[in-house]
């Protein structure tokens, strides 16, 4: 009785268990420690998985076979020049607004964190105002006041877009769209940036100023790179909102992706559904590209913050294969 | 009203101060012999040990009087260890010396140069941020929690400040950083990130980072308090090496044995005041004040 657990333990520590035959224990089965542990069976999980698979298959089947979606028309529209022109405008508006919005957001965040009560108040009021007013209202305001725009433009801190103001009608609409989106974006970005700066340990500020590092260097090289680690996911969230928000520029008569889908839809009323699918597909692609970029940017800024960086998708695949191979080897060995 | 109160504290302090000066003179004879060969080591680093003077410094946090008329003189090359219970103002004193905290009254000087302020007629006027940052680069500071920059490699942590403050070119700074890392025994860790190191190693990097600016004085704020007991020794060894090399050091610590070993002078603080100061043999073994005896009996 007392012998068998003792035997199991000792054979676990001494690898060749069979090498030492024990005459008093005849033809014993494999010792306990050498046997593989059987995993717990989970029938409930299998049933739920099967149900979900059936549902997913149904949806996929519906998407493919339902004539309502008109996939041939989708194919026809997907790479049409009008759609691609619209896509280009969406990209342009989104890009300029994202850059200007982030710059504005950084300035607003710095103002909000500054010791000057006036700067703090101005920054707070700006953020309060533009987070309260719907983007579409801001855009229509700008559009309707475009006659007054030149005088209004002097005090607004977003430069580059103004240079295109006097050019063709399209450029003006573009300027209105970019300014409107940037004003809105800056308000949200300022809170994202401020949150990121606040997330950097106070000790970092102290260490930087104890070393006598110049103020600008402290921000640009010590605090901001660390803040970016928490700014990135939040700002990408914001950026995805912005990409979808560009669909509103249709209302200031700018033919972006959504705008060209809308206008084609009114010309070809039968194709509305495939056209909306085309827009959906392109927005999905844009968001996916941004998400992939986000992964690598986050990975870059987590250097030093993590002991080991998260694996890239390629590394994940390679690790997965290695894992499978190792398991196969283990199974065959037992 | 507060002015009168201050004046009285200054007066009461004058008597013990004279005593101190006598003690310091005795002490100089003791330490004088040890500094001669060490001067070469500092010469190699290009460090000129500086004198620190803290004069009648008062500091309040709200209604709490954190520093209550602190008066301290540290001579070039001297190692001063500050002891005292938590909340006694030790750390605040260090932070006042490099002007991370502004004293409300009083001033600090480094080799006779006022820190953070300038004389403006009969009054003191605050200096601009840039000038203060320049002054700070001549005062090394080692934090309890290391505060290394986690996004920079160990080498960049050490090399960043001399480049950013315009003291050295990038290749020069990197060479200096390599030398300093070798000196604290971490030559092989230069491309690691701080979080990949043990606490003791991080603190040694932090010391190398402070040394990279060739400061006249280095302030240590409880440099071993955040470390496992096992790792304390390696950090103390580096500080000991610095002490032997004749750098001016002011160390806040709870390591009494270490204080006894390396201090030229021990300062005991309580309630924002310096209660007692003198050579370690006197303050640690024959404390004059009841409060010091009480503290030491609990710590030793």
Cβ <8 Å between A212 and B134: yes
The phi and psi torsions of B70 (rounded to 5 degrees) equal -85, 135
In the numeric block, the tokens 């039968």 are attached to A270
**Contact by Cβ (8 Å): A234, A196:** yes
A256: which DSSP letter?
-
Residues of chain B predicted below pLDDT 50:
1-43
Is there a contact between B161 and B212 (Cβ–Cβ < 8 Å)? yes
Separation CA A244–CA A85 (nearest Å)? 17
d(Cα A200, Cα A206) in Å, to the nearest integer? 11
- Cβ-nearest to B147 among A204, A215, A305: A204
To 10 degrees, the CA torsion angle through B15, B20, B26, B29? -140
Contact B298, B85 (CB under 8 A): no
CB-CB contact of B278 with B21 (8 Å): no
Closest residue in A to B164 (Cα–Cα): A213
CA–CA separation, B211 vs B182, rounded Å?
A: 13
Burial of B183 (0-12, 13-18, 19+ CB in 10 A): buried
Quick check: pTM over 0.90?
no
Rounded to whole angstroms, the Cα distance separating B147 from B242 reads 20
Work out the minimum CA distance from B75 to partner chain A, whole angstroms: 22
pLDDT of residue B43: 44
Q: How far apart are CA B138 and CA B108, in angstroms?
A: 14
Distance between CA B138 and CA B141 in Å, rounded?
A: 10
User: Which chain A residues in 6-65 lie under 8 Å from chain B, judged by CB atoms?
Assistant: none
Q: Token pair for residue B97?
A: 């010396």
Structure confidence at residue A157 (pLDDT): 56
CB B199 within 8 A of CB B223: no
B98: nearest CB among A210, A301, A304: A210
B272 Cβ contact list (under 8 Å, min separation 6): B59, B65, B66, B67, B68, B70, B88, B89
B128 touches chain A (CB under 8 A): no
Contact between B133 and A207 using a beta-carbon 8 Å cutoff: no
CB atoms within 10 A of CB A85: 15
Contact B195 A307 (CB under 8 A): yes
Please report which helix (H) or strand (E) contains residue B126, including its range.
strand B123-126
The Cα–Cα gap between A252 and B232 comes to 67
Any idea which residue has 């403006």 for tokens? B120
| Confidence (pLDDT) at A274 | 92
CA distance A305 to chain B (A): 6
Q: Which two tokens stand for residue A58?
A: 């149904």
Residue A115 touches chain B, beta carbons under 8 Å: no
C-alpha distances (whole Å) from B206 to each of A321, B246, B260 are 42, 19, 24
Contact B81, B263 (CB under 8 A): yes
Q: What is the CA radius of gyration of chain B?
A: 19
ipTM above 0.90, yes or no: no
Question: What are φ and ψ of residue B83, in 5° steps?
Answer: -115, 165
Backbone angles phi, psi at B275, to 5 degrees: -80, -40
What DSSP assignment string belongs to A105-132? HHHHHHHHTSS-HHHHHHHHHHHHHHHH
Looking at residue B153, the DSSP 8-state letter turns out to be -
Measured CA to CA, the distance from residue B151 to residue B57 in angstroms comes to 37
Residue B33, CA distances (Å) to A329, B21, B36, B241, B271 in order: 70, 20, 6, 16, 36
- H helical segments located in B148-248: 154-164, 170-183, 199-211, 229-244
**Residue (of B152, B193, B156) closest to A307 by Cα position:** B193
DSSP string, B234-289: HHHHHHHHHHHTT-EEEEE-S-HHHHHHH-SEEEEEETTEEEEEE-HHHHHHS--S
- Mind listing the pLDDT tens digit of every residue in chain A (334 residues)? 344 444 444 444 444 545 555 556 556 667 777 778 888 889 999 999 999 999 999 999 988 888 888 888 999 999 999 999 999 999 999 999 999 999 999 999 999 999 999 999 999 999 999 999 999 999 988 887 765 545 444 445 555 555 444 444 444 688 889 999 999 999 999 999 999 999 999 999 999 999 999 999 999 999 999 999 999 999 999 999 999 999 999 888 888 999 999 999 999 988 899 999 999 999 999 999 999 999 999 988 888 777 777 788 888 889 999 999 988 888 787 6
A positions 264-303 inside 8 Å of B (CB) = 301, 303
Q: Is B165 an 8 Å CB contact of chain A? A: yes
What confidence tens digit (pLDDT) does each residue in B155-193 have? 999 999 999 999 999 999 999 999 999 999 999 999 999
Inspect the interface and report whether the beta carbons of B136 and A204 lie closer than 8 Å.
no
Q: Which residues are CB-neighbours of A80 under 8 A, at least 6 positions away?
A: A264
Whether A220 contacts chain B with CB within 8 A: no
Give CA–CA dist A261/B55, Å, rounded. Answer: 76
Euclidean distance between CA atoms A35 and A32, whole angstroms: 6
Buried b (16+ CB within 10 A) or exposed e, A218-240: bbebbbbbbbbbbbbebbbebbb
Specify the pLDDT at position A86.
92
């Amino acid at each position: 009785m007392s012998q068998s657990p003792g035997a199991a333990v000792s054979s676990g520590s001494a690898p060749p268990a069979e090498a030492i035959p024990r005459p008093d224990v005849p033809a014993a089965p494999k010792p306990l420690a050498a046997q593989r542990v059987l995993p717990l069976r989970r029938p409930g999980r299998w049933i739920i998985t099967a149900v979900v698979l059936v549902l997913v298959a149904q949806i996929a089947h519906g998407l493919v076979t339902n004539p309502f979606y008109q996939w041939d028309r989708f194919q026809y529209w997907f790479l049409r020049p009008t759609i691609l022109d619209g896509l280009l405008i969406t990209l342009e508006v989104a890009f300029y607004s994202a850059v200007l919005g982030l710059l504005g957001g950084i300035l607003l965040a710095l103002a909000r964190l500054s010791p000057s009560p006036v700067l703090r108040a101005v920054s707070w009021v700006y953020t309060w105002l533009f987070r309260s007013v719907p983007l579409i209202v801001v855009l229509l305001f700008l559009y309707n006041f475009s006659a007054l725009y030149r005088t209004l433009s002097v005090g607004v801190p977003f430069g580059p877009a103004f240079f295109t103001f006097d050019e063709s009608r399209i450029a003006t609409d573009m300027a209105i769209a970019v300014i409107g989106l940037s004003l809105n974006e800056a308000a949200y970005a300022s809170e994202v940036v401020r949150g990121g700066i606040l997330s950097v340990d106070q000790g970092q500020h102290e260490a930087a100023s104890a070393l006598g590092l110049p103020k600008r260097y402290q921000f640009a090289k010590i605090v901001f790179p660390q803040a970016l680690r928490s700014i990135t996911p939040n700002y990408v969230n914001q950026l995805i909102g912005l990409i979808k928000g560009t669909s509103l520029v249709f209302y200031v008569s700018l033919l972006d992706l959504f705008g060209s889908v809308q206008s084609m839809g009114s010309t070809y009323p039968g194709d509305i559904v495939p056209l909306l699918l085309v827009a959906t597909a392109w927005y999905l692609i844009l968001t996916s590209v941004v998400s992939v970029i986000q992964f690598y940017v986050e990975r870059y800024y987590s250097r030093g913050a993590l002991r080991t960086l998260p694996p890239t998708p390629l590394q994940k695949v390679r690790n997965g294969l290695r894992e499978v191979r190792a398991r196969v080897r283990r199974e065959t060995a037992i | 009203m507060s002015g009168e109160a201050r004046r009285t504290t200054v007066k009461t302090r004058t008597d013990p101060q004279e005593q101190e000066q006598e003690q310091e003179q005795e002490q100089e004879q003791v330490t004088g012999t040890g500094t001669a060969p060490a001067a070469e080591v500092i010469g190699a680093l290009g460090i000129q040990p500086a004198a620190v003077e803290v004069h009648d410094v008062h500091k309040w946090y709200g209604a709490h009087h954190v520093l209550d008329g602190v008066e301290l003189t540290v001579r070039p090359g001297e190692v001063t260890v500050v002891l005292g219970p938590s909340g006694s103002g030790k750390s605040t004193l260090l932070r006042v010396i490099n002007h991370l905290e502004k004293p409300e009254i009083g001033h600090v000087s480094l080799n006779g140069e006022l820190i953070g302020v300038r004389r403006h007629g009969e009054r003191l006027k605050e200096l601009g941020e840039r000038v203060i940052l320049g002054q700070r680069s001549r005062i090394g500071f080692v934090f309890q929690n290391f505060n290394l920059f986690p996004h920079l490699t160990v080498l960049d942590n050490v090399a960043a400040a001399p480049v950013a403050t315009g003291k050295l070119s990038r290749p020069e700074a990197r060479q200096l950083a390599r030398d300093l890392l070798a000196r604290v025994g971490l030559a092989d860790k230069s491309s690691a990130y701080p979080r990949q190191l043990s606490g003791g190693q991080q603190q040694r990097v932090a010391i190398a980072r402070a040394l990279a600016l060739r400061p006249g004085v280095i302030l240590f704020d409880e440099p071993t308090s955040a470390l496992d007991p096992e790792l304390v020794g390696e950090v103390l060894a580096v500080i000991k090496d610095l002490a032997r090399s004749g750098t001016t050091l002011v160390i806040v610590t709870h390591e009494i044995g270490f204080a006894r070993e390396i201090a030229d002078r021990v300062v005991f603080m309580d309630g924002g005041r310096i209660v007692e100061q003198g050579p370690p043999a006197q303050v640690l073994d024959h404390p004059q004040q009841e409060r010091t005896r009480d503290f030491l009996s609990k710590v030793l």
